Every structure is written in C-alpha cells, then in structure tokens.
Chain A
Amino acid sequence: MIFMEILFYQNLSSTNLEAKKMVKKRFLPWTVIWANSQSKGYGKEKRFWFSPPGGLYFSIILPKISLSNLQILTLASGIAVIKVFARFKIKANLKWPNDIMIFEKKSKKFKKIGGILVENVIGKDLKISVVGIGLNTNIKKFPKGLQESATSLQIELKKKVDNERILKSILKELKKILKMNNGKIMVEYKNCQNTLGKKIKIFTKDKIFLGTAFNFDRRGYLLVKLEKGQVVKILEGDLNYEFQRRN
C-alpha cells in the first residue's frame, strides 16, 4: 500500500503553491493538499482560475520520475479525471493536453469543467513535482465572462456531488495509471481525448498554425497536418476548436 495523506483547508491562496512549500518541508509523495476554495487559484502561466467554495481544488505531491518520462504526468492526470467522471455518468474528455471538457448539446460547444497544471522544479534531475487539479463540481453559477466557456457537475447533473469521493477516486485511478507503461498510457489517452480529427487553430508563443490534429507521437506531442500538407509537431500552445474559415 502506498502512503497517502489528505490535508483539507477551507481556503488557500493556491493548493499548488502550498504543495510546493510542503515539499520543501519534506512532506512525502502522495500527500494531497485540498481546499474548499482558492483566493489566487491559477492555471498555465498564472492565468486566473475561478475557485469559489464548492469546487474541488487539490494538489498532489508526486513521486520523482525520470526527466524523459515527465510528460506522462500531465497525460495521466487527465486520464484519471475522465475515468472517474465516467463513473459519475459524466461524459467528459480532454482537449490536448489536459483541459477537461464536456460537449454541451444545447449550445453545440465544448465547455470547460476542469483544468490541470503540473509544476516541476528541475535541476539535473527532477526535484519537485506537483499536480494541481481544479474541478468545477458544486458550482451553481459562473460569472458572466465565464458562462459561455465553463460549466460544472452541479449544472450538468442538476445535483450536488461528493467532492471527497471524487478526490479519492481520482487519486486511486492516478496511482493505477502511473504504474502503466507509456504505450498503454498513450492508448488510454487516445480514448479520453477529443482533439484528434478536429480542425484547430494553435497559438504557440511565436506562431499561429491552422490545420487538422491527426495523431500524437510516443511522448504525447500533438501532430498536426497543416493546410498545405506539411506536418508540425506541437509541444506547447493553446488550441481553439472553433476555428472557421471566413471564405
């Protein structure tokens, strides 16, 4: 049996920040920092993450793995959430690499129901690894600016869910996935994602690409065929599915 300790807080500025502090105080891998709300929850590049009371916000201190395997953490966390949601009769899937989305029939749009941020500290090897997961569980309503793009389990299921049960199920699932080999994880990932086959617009740091996502390489990088047939490998960028040609 692997060690697991869950520390609950009513409010934290950010569970990831707290987890990173705790690693330095020698807390063990699989310590979980869980908050009922975050005052400064953030996603990639410190983008604001709406974290009111009722949502499920937690960070896991991960065991150290080899640097060549690092990308598996981001994929495995996404798979774990999708599998647990399926048990709650929620058909969610991942927008590459790990935005948790559900398709809303009424608006014919994908809406975000959760997000994942892995943060690592690396020297010559991995020093600290923390995965933060923010799920819109028991959130009744979103502010105007988010209503178009976000939803929650409470809105979709029309009832509240048990955050603790979801959290423990995700931990159990994540441990199971991290024991798989990379090939098997990629197979699982393909079953959980919604990006392949879609026409997408990708905003990387210095370029914008238009094309069709057609596969992943063995590390999970996204392979995109551009309109003129050229293939590009994407390891970082924001995807937009709603790209439509104007002509």
Chain B
Amino acid sequence: MRTKIKIKDKFYEIEIFEIRENLIKVKIDNEDYFFTQNNSQELIFIEKKDLPFLEKKEEKEILYTLPREKEIKSPITGVISKIYVKEGEEIGVGKTVATLIAMKMENEIISESAGKVKEIKVKENQFVNTGQVLAVLE
C-alpha cells in the first residue's frame, strides 16, 4: 500500500509491505522501519540493529530479538492470585505472567519482554506494590 501524508506542511511518502506474517516494513521517504505485533495486536518497533536476524528467523524468534528489559515489574498495586510462569521457562512478548486482584478487578499482567525466566520474585496471595519486581529474565 502506498500513500502520502501531510504533517505540519510537509508531505511524506509512505509505503507499507507485509514481508510475511507478523513482520511489516514501513518505508517513509526511502527510509525503512520494521514492526512486529504482540499478542495485544500492538505494533512493536524493531530496531535496525536487529535487522540482520530478521530474514532468517521464525516469528517466535523475532520476538526474542526485540529490545527487552530484564525485570518484569508490577504495573499496579494488588494481590497476586495466580502465577503462570515457571523458572527456566522461555516466554515471549504478551505472555501472561500473573493475575493480580485489586478492588475486585482481575488484572492479567503480561510480559513486554522475551527471554528465559531466571527468577520469580513473588508468591501467590502476596501483596505487591506498583513497580515491584515480579520476575527476572536472563
């Protein structure tokens, strides 16, 4: 698909290619940008340094090459009702790490990183604060 958009009086020529399932290239004025999707259908930008890997890798592996943080932190305060990952398990972006209950809301906490779970820092039924580390990835 090719289109033009205007931002603050400047026109940009944009071309979108689906290279294969879950890998999209967006060409903006002859510059290439690559994106993949997580489980919530959000587009995740892939940095150029990861590009050499992309052509050879499967979808699952692409996710592992994404920039990542080593700690998965609780985004809100609540009580852990269930933990869904185990130490040593390989997890991808979008994997449910735990369910956290607060104010009768059930919150699925998903990972935005990919990697091997090195350590789980919390237990079921434990109260956690916002920002508290739930799990550490290798």
Contacts and interface: CB of A to CB of B under 8 A. Distances in A.
Nearest to B38: A123
Contacts of B75: 67, 122-125
Classify the interface of chain A: helix, strand, loop or mixed. Answer: mixed
Contact of A118 (B41, B96, B104): B104
Contacts of B78: 235-236
Nearest to B111: A123
Interface stretch (A49-57, A69-77, A164-172): A69-77
B106 A220 contact: no
Interface string A207-241: 00000000000001100000000000001100000
A121 B110 contact: yes
Contacts of B79: 204-205, 235-236
Interface in B66-98: 75-79, 81, 94, 96
B63 to A, nearest CB: 14
Interface string B36-52: 00111110000000000
A121 B40 contact: yes
Taking each of A125, A128, A205, A206, which has the highest tally of chain B beta carbons within 10 Å of its own beta carbon? A205
Interface residues of A, number: 31
Taking each of A45, A67, A119, A236, which has the highest tally of chain B beta carbons within 10 Å of its own beta carbon? A236
A70 B125 contact: no
Contacts of B110: 121-123, 127
A206 B102 CA distance: 14
Contact of A236 (B39, B41, B96, B101): B101
B7 interface: no
Nearest to B112: A123
Given A122-B75, A124-B75, A204-B79, A235 B103 contact: yes
A117 interface: yes
A122 B107 contact: yes
A179 interface: no
Given A205-B79, A220-B103, A122 B108 contact: yes
A116 interface: yes
The 10 closest A-B pairs by CB, nearest first: A205-B125, A127-B40, A118-B105, A123-B112, A121-B108, A71-B103, A120-B107, A236-B79, A74-B103, A119-B106
